[in-house]
Structures are given as structure tokens and as C-alpha cells.
Amino acid sequence: MVTLSHCGHQLQEDKKGDMPKCEQRFIRTMSITQAEFIRSLQPLKKEYPFTVTEEEKKITISDPQIEIHLGNQININLGSLNMPSMDITFFFRDMAEQGIEDFWSRFNLCFRRGGG
């Protein structure tokens, strides 16, 4: 059996040689309000059913296990333009890399905006 370092922990491969799963955390700063974030996330419910709790600050997806924590909304002033900004933390628990990549693909489609 081979000892590997993955996600900052010393882990061992299983008998099939698959990489063990662990918790991963990502933080994104987005120019969006909490209400807009939750509304934009609705199309994701088809593949990743979720619940919103704690006054719309925590979003939980049970299978696979993903938690999304919404930070405090601040306003950024750029001259006469006032934009909302919020740090959003994503926790992925017991998910393989491919599952995380699949989630990001679907998530990014929910938040894609026109323009260009």
C-alpha cells in the first residue's frame, strides 16, 4: 500500500488504487447580492437539490455533500458605480475530483451572463 499526500493529509490508496476523497474548500468573491445568488442558483436544483438555511447564509446539498456559505455583503464604489460584493465559501466533502469539476461546470452555467 502506498501513502499519498492529498488535500493536506497523509492518506493511503485503497485496494483498487483509487485516490481517497476528502474535504476541499474554495472561496470565490462575486459581485452579487444574496438574493440574486440564491435566485441564480435555482437551475442547479434539478441535479443538486439544496436547502437554504440560517437566514439565507448557508446552502446545503446533501448528495453529494456540498455546503455553500455566503459571506457578508459589502458595497464597492467605483466612481459613481456602486456594486455589491460577497465572499462565497464552498466546502466539498467526500467528493472525487471529477465530481467537483462536474459541479463547477453546472454552477458556472447558472451564473453565466451575456455580453462580450
pLDDT digits (tens, 9 = 90+) for 24-58: 999 999 999 999 999 999 999 999 999 998 777 89
The owner of cell 446539498 is 61
pLDDT digits (tens, 9 = 90+) for 63-109: 889 999 999 999 999 899 999 999 999 999 988 889 999 999 999 99
Residues 6+ apart with CB under 8 A from 43: 109, 110
Q: In the chain, what are the domains?
A: 23-110 (3.30.1370.80)
d(CA 55, CA 63): 22
